[in-house]
Structure 1
Amino acid sequence: MQELYNRVQAATDPLEIINLSDKFLDMHLIGYIKLMFLKGEVLLSLGRLDDALSVFKQILEYDVDSFAGRAHNSIGFCYSRKNEYDKSISEFEKAREYSDEQSLLLNSSIINLAAFYSMTNQKQNTFKIFKELYDLDSSNGPDDTHILILRLANNPEELIGIYDNSIDERYTPDVNVLFAKGDALVTLERFDEAIPVFEKILKYRNDSDREIAGKTHTAIGICYFRKNELDKALPEFEKAREFSDDSLILSNLANTYTLTNQKAKALEVYKELYNMEPHNKDLKKIIELLELELNGKDRLKDSPFNTIQEAFIQADIYSQSKEYETAIEVYDLITDSMPEQPPAWNKKGYAYYQLGRTEEAIKCFDKALECNPNSAYSMFYKSLVYMGLEDYENAQDMIVQALNIIPDNSEFLNNYCVILIRLGRNEDAIDIANKALIIEPDSVETYTNKAFALENLNRFEEAIECYDKALKINPNFFEAWHNKAYSFENLNMLDEAIECYEKALELSPNNSQILSNIAMLYVKKGDFDKASETLNRQ
């Protein structure tokens, strides 16, 4: 720089002076801009983003092409730190306009551009940038750039093509890239091609990477499973389990044990899964069915049933047909075979309850609660029995316990509502009915229960509104028509009451009580002929 300065000072030819001066000024400016860049980068490192932006924008004012791309890149990076992604992408794109050479494509501006395309979900633009990098330099083996391309490719066919072009046998393959190719082949259902790819992962993986081993054996097992080669799938899932207790591995293993008729082993794995997912109702059901089948097999030799499931189905059919005595006989077989299963005790108890054999019903529900102290339905059924015995205090205790376990069950809430009405706690009953209606807004039973509580409080207009809502849902709901007539009668709206009773009579023809009620209303109106005519309809 000093030498050039001296030459400028010594020159006498004007053209030479201009030429040398331009060189000196350019060099001086470049040095100055480099210092500005240093200042901007220091400000950026201190998090003073607005100050750094100001410096980098000032650099652009000098209109030096060799620095413009870098300046736009730095401005874009500042905006990205400020989470102003639209502005950052615009600056990264401007940076790229100054050159398409590999040197610029490989600099941070283009990597940043691709990254922010990805962050803003512009996948096609992201892939295009990385593909361009790959096309410019595909000779360096499976480096990070190629891995990014593979992971960003949306088309499995294209992914496989890029993989095959970028992986050279001279290099140890990247197992993540291999997995990407294997997954793509599975997506295309090219299982025979996918299996060797996954097997190569097992060859090249780091011995300490147990997770990738578990994933890979699972992937191979899934390929064989999808090919319906269960004898080959099962060993792979078993190997996978040696490396990991991941729920996907356990699920595949349990399913394959089931399909290969190794149900005892399947049950063991399903129980392990259930310990990991204790709220999974589907798993619980699978376990119950397997236990029923495995534990009940030897106890059915002298029965007409091949499995406990068959016995359960037939008992339920008897119960639904109101053949409760016969249903109990089959439930006895089930509870003898599987004494630790609450559902059988509950169903048997309910059959006893329908027969009015309350003492035996309560014993069944108590047995179910011994097996599972948190069986909310056992508590619910037991509360029904106590209601039948008009023991509303015990009924309340049972239903409250059930609701503590399942608080959002509208059936439980309706039961509680009725109990509260029987206990004379009508305001509380209305609150419970309102909770039930939030859960099941189209329940005619809940509207009717709420209306009954309102009637007990002499709030007949509100009761009628509830009956109207119930009848809008189900115009043929007998109790709503019958009880609505009662509310109208208490409001001395006798014609409306008669109309409601007539509607109820259509649903229950020859109902002598309703005919008597209608006749009494005509008497109140002083219309004795109509009253007599109504009584003669019986």
Structure 2
Amino acid sequence: MMEEYLDFPEFIDKVQGLIEMGLYDEALAQLNEYTKINSAEWEIYYLYSRICTEQNLPEEAVSYLHKGLHLDKTNVDCLLGLYYAYSMMNQTKKGSKYLLRAYKLNPENETVLLSLVWYYTEINETQTAIQFFELLQNRGTTNPDAYRNGALAYQRAGQYDNAEQCFKTALKLNPDFDEVRDLLADHYMMLEQTAKAIELYQEALEKSPRNIRILSRLIFCYSQSDQTEHATVLAKESIRLYPNSPIGYIDMAYIHLNLNEFSEAIEYAERALDISPLDQEAFRILALCYSGKKDLQQSKLAFEKAISLDETNSEIIRDYYHHLRESGQYQLMEYWINKAISIESPHCMEDYWFLADYHREKGDDLKSLHYLKLAYKSMPSEKELIPPIVDILIDNGHTGFSIPFLLHYVKKSGWNEVMNGFLQHKRLKGKPAQEGLRCLRFFGQRTPDYRRYIFKVYFRKFTIISSIFLMALAVLPCYLLFGTTGALGVAIVCVISSILFTAIRFLALKEIWGFRKLIHVFS
């Protein structure tokens, strides 16, 4: 009966509770019934939009949110809802105008600020994202979502220590934040700190020993760190605890796949499909196994089936275009690469890097450099993109253009085996290049000493210039006090000082000859 809905705030709370429990049909029925009496409240349309977004129907959500915004043109919830709905449709730029409007109307709103952190990270303006996060942090936010968003911004900017600290803070604020735990584990795996990732899941498993999801993630970490025995024991335990779930069988299949034991992996994947006939990961494993066995037709069928179950899964699409390259199906490969880029844009570093490597292999350095540039723009913190860029520039005789990239790489990675390789490059055997590389090695291996050295060079220059300037100023009072003799004496001192300055400057430049261009570019 509608009498119970006349208290509007209680009605809204009840519908929100139904949505949070995943009871979307019940929530929808309640809203439909209420709108027969009253449809002039923005909250009604906002709740309709929430049901739509939870069911991955962003187009319908947008329609409802516009109706809500028509009733209250300054409503923050509707403005943010439009931003997220358009983002779900890969129309981030279109959605951003609503987010920026919300910020203009409510610059102090915490939800708006953390959304801005997310937005600027998504469009690769990481410094702006970090500024908004630090604003939230300075205000003493205790919202774990804020620290999650901040961590992603730091990670994309290459500030990995700050990213780790933010992930940890988010987990401390909400120990059940599974998404952040997974992101932190992935962060450790990316940095090849698998022991930390394993420890993270072991701690979580102690609190929830039968959690199949945590078990699966721990199995993955063991497998990626070549601890196959531990991974196998846990996968068998997962199957024993949950024999009617495909997850344990999928985990076991991946273990065998990593060992190139394709027949065993296929067996476990098929057992997973017996339980869940539309399991996307099972078809993905079958596709990879058949690809490993060079069964191109079966692999193609399995990949197409896996993609048909979720056409937005870029990871499976990437597996597919790798397979197509290995099997020489280049035209189809490029189609699927472009598909992955359209899904992941602007975060397409991996896809652009793949295209750069493909065209480099084909001898088209211009196209390869183009895609490396796009990859670097997508992920400026990825230092390993720099050596292939330098390789192409040097091989094509553009040694001068490679210098800023070399300095940037040494700043990020120090002097390492990659730089030792460049030291032996045939096009860098000239004296200026070798001098520059030696100075780079000094900079990369002994950065504090280098900075002290540069400070001394510029301090000497400053001291001499200052002295000459002061002596030049002294000419007039000396002339007035001592006549021509005094002025002439000061002038002689100035000339000698100028000669001395020129000599010291020449020696200083000679010491860093070949590296002065680097200083000029980055000063």
TM-score range, shorter chain: 0.3 to 0.5
- TM-score relative to the length of structure 2: 0.38
Structure with higher RCO (Cα < 8 A, 6+ apart): 2
Higher alpha-carbon Rg: 1
- TM-score relative to the length of structure 1: 0.37
